[in-house]
A and B are shown apart, each in its own frame.
Chain A
Amino acid sequence: MTTPKKPLVDEAEWQAQERGMRAALGEASAGLDSTAASYFTVASAVLSAPVSEPPTDFAASVAAHVAKREPVVERVMSRMLAAAFVVAATATVIIYGDAWWAALEPWRGSDALGWIVAGAGCVLMSWIPRQILDLLGEESSTTASRG
């Protein structure tokens, strides 16, 4: 036969702890029984235990740290993304370039297609570097060139 398990928290004693805590927090402390009174002493000790406080300049120094750090993180991430894009684009052209060129073989003699390909090439050649420069944080130089 198993004996009933003792509950982890004795509810009557828990209530005494709570009365002691409320009294220590400034609520009515009159009429505390001896158990609650000893918990009042315990709760008062918890409240009066030495606690260190943050230095007065803490908030300002954390905010300054964040302000200083944020653009650096963004810049590094952007550069990593730009580098990854360039590597991926180059690898794609190296791997599939021949196949693309071969696929265009039947139309390569046509004048219209030649002009379309040349036009698309010009657009890409002006658009891609601008995107890369933007990503690298060189917005000012591209703005100047647009103006």
Chain B
Amino acid sequence: MTQPPPPFHGPIEADQALVAAVLAGKTGAFETLVRNYQGLCWHVVDRMVRHPDDTRELCQEAFLRIHQTLHQYRGESPLKSWIGQVAYSVARRYLERKRIPIAELPADEEGTSLIERVGDGFDLEASVADEEIGAHLHASIEALPPLQRTLLTLYHLEEMPIVEIARVTGLAEGTIKSHLFRSRKLLRDILESRIGVRA
């Protein structure tokens, strides 16, 4: 005799079930929640703060806060957005405490200064062509301000739609699109200036 198929659980239903299990104090439920979302939290915090020891501490702080406030999660949006929002706010507050600017410089200054910063000390001779371009772009991404770096990570790596990024960061969708557009354009300009240098 065949078993009936298990009831379908969409992502939100699965999130709600996991949250209910944590709130009911079910053994291992919170550890499962952390395991499911630790990658997202880590990527957001790491991209914002770029400091391995602090990343661990801040991620732990984010999950402790998530545990304390989990009863406030109403299941209206994916748990992923909610957790991303807590991670982002913990990282942002850390940068504010350290007086590190989160967002970009004015557009005109940014292009020049970023290209100059990345260009300094980069060993052209040591790299072969594609690796050189890749390494140079990686260095350029590292040199972006924390907000732009994080938006690129959420959009490209986590494949989060702009509407969900807006929930995480509290920024308007148009602002996010503008940041993404300018960051990618800047990276393309850097890429083309590199190709120009090589040619």
B21 adjacent to chain A (CB < 8 Å): no
Dominant secondary structure of chain B at its interface with chain A: helix
- What's the least CB distance linking A52 to chain B, in Å? 5
What CA separation (Å) do A67 and B175 show in the bound complex? 40
B165 adjacent to chain A (CB < 8 Å): no
B88 adjacent to chain A (CB < 8 Å): no
Which residues of chain A are near B153, meaning CB under 8 Å?
Answer: 46, 51
Among B56, B138, B181, contact of A9 (Cβ-Cβ < 8 Å): B181
Dominant secondary structure of chain A at its interface with chain B: helix
Which residues of chain B are near A52, meaning CB under 8 Å?
Answer: 42, 46, 52, 55
Number of interface residues of B (CB under 8 A): 45
Which residues of chain B are near A47, meaning CB under 8 Å?
Answer: 156-157
Q: Are A39 and B188 in contact (CB under 8 A)?
A: yes
What CA separation (Å) do A14 and B188 show in the bound complex? 12
- What's the least CB distance linking A41 to chain B, in Å? 6
Q: B residues engaging A (CB < 8 A)?
A: 28, 30-32, 34-35, 38-39, 41-43, 46-47, 52, 55-56, 59-60, 63-64, 67, 133-134, 137-138, 141-142, 152-153, 155-157, 159, 174, 177-178, 180-182, 184-185, 187-188, 191-192
